[in-house]
Amino acid sequence: MTPSPTRALAAVAVAAATAAAAAPAHAADAGRLTITPGHALTGAHVRAAAVKPAQRSGGRISLPVAQLRRAGGGATVTTDGRLRLTSGRFSVTFDQVRAALGAHSRITARTGGHRLTLLTLPTVRRVTGTGTVRLSGVRATLTPAAARVLRTKLHRRGIAAGAFGRVSIVARAAAPAPAAPVTSAPVSQPSGAPAPAADPPAPTDAPAGGGGGASGPPPRPADGGVPCQGVPTGVPAGALGYAQWGFNAGVRATFPVGDCNFNTGEPYWWPTGGATQISTAAFGFPVASATYDPDTRVGQVQLGGALRIGYQQGGFGSGEGIWVDLAGLTLSLDGSGGTISGLTDGGFTWLGCGTVPSATRTFASLSVPAPTISGDTVTWSGIGVTLTDPSLGLCTYHAGDPLDPITVTAHIAGLDTGDDEDEA
């Protein structure tokens, strides 16, 4: 935890004499992050309180800024103090509250040893300059994962994801501590020795995630997302066409597409085996085989590639975390309906929701529109997808909840459209 103001002032004195440390930013009034809950909490009979050095005034909770970090047009604001929500004799406390400002602006905090994306904020397109960062009274949205935690911890079923209240931020960068004069020759690094570890970089697009080490709680995305390198992008290669699917917008809000977990270095969205990232809202899967009868509208489309979503503490395939694996997807089409199946597994272990063993399962139903047919090319635009197997709902989504629609373009040799004229 960040030192108290008294210890911070002592650290300043030590730094001035030895150049060993710099004072935490909040020691010089680095600003405040203010959360003003709205009817979403008061209507559910939940009260917000501040734990020092945070302060409560007129329904507003103000947490002192400990550090402001900028990188790549984004900024990360770290605070001191804690936010406590209570309902009757039940309470839940959030500490290490952080605001990540950028393309995926959000507020995260730790509770019960785990980091949680608590609130999402409007996009901050770019944090410019070197002075004060200000965010004035923007609307904050409670995430589905945070709503679930509050319902569980506070025993209040009426708490739902959605409009939460307002957030304001005033954050100032700390002035660097003066360096003491060098009185001895610098010590050279031995040949072949690893370079000293640097502080982890602030996220470029203010992602959510991270925290925790290999032996601690599973890292959450709000504490350690960094831009990924090497994820395959563009339209997937293949002569038979491809499908594009984003799985679920809410999951993409929790795990920003294009970011890697800082602790494991692995992408939150990891297409492999020929699958690709087409955009920040869609992934491509090459068509492996396809059949379709336009008269009966019965057919099957098998997709190649695989997609891993989320993270695991020791990397995918090892340890606790929040994840879903999808591979060998097959769309079975029957008129205006159908199903999607595949080799899947997953887990959401930090809330005790357990794991899903690897197996081939049908996990969603399809609402299939009439396709567009041109020659041997069949295109289904916006196939509706509804979750039927809640085991793949990341402990948040349930049977009957919609997933993102799928669009498929398939080249089917010898397709019989029934339009040929009979020979005489």
pLDDT, tens digit, for every residue of 338-383? 999 999 888 776 556 678 888 999 999 999 999 999 999 999 999 9
Q: Is 43 part of a structural domain of the chain?
A: yes
Domain boundary among 133, 156, 171: 171
Which token pair is 349? Answer: 């272990």
Tokens of 283: 């992934």
Q: Rounded to whole angstroms, how far apart are CA atoms 207 and 287?
A: 32
Of the residues 137, 156, 171, which one is the last residue of a structural domain? 171
Same domain, 359 and 262: yes
**What end-to-end distance do the CA atoms of the chain give, in Å?**
87
Quote the pLDDT of residue 178.
47
Report the range of poorest mean pLDDT among 115-124, 141-150, 199-208, 249-258: 199-208
% of residues, the chain, pLDDT over 70: 72
Q: Is residue 417 part of a domain?
A: no
What value does the mean pLDDT of the chain take? 76
* Angle value at C-alpha 243, between 241 and 249, nearest 5 degrees: 160
Structural tokens at position 393:
């709902």
Say if residues 120 and 103 touch (Cβ distance below 8 Å).
no
Q: What is the predicted pLDDT for the residue at 75? A: 79
Domain-embedded: residue 36: yes
The arithmetic mean of pLDDT across residues 297-317, rounded, is 86
Domain assignment present for residue 210? The answer is no
Q: Whole-model pTM?
A: 0.50
Same domain, 244 and 391: yes
Same domain, 166 and 242: no
| Chain segment 89-110, per-residue pLDDT in tens | 999 999 989 888 877 788 988 8
What number is the average pLDDT over the span 306-322?
78
What mean pLDDT comes out for the span 54-65?
92
Q: Where are the beta strands (DSSP E) in 282-367?
A: 282-293, 298-303, 306-312, 321-334, 337-348, 355-367
Statement to judge: residues 149 and 249 lie in one domain = no
In a domain, 289, yes or no: yes
Task: Tell me: pLDDT of 144 over 80.
Answer: yes
One domain for residues 228 and 100: no
Residues 6+ apart with CB under 8 A from 214: 263, 313, 314, 319
CB atoms within 10 A of CB 70: 17
Residue ending a domain, among 154, 171, 188, is 171
Q: Is there a single domain that holds both residue 279 and residue 400? A: yes
Mean pLDDT, range 195-206, rounded to an integer? 32
Same domain, 266 and 372: yes
Domain assignment of residue 160, given as a range: 19-171
Total domain count, the chain: 2
196 occurs within a structural domain: no
Residue predicted with more confidence, 202 or 390 = 390
Share of the chain above pLDDT 90, in %: 39
Mean pLDDT lowest for which of 147-151, 382-386, 392-396? 392-396
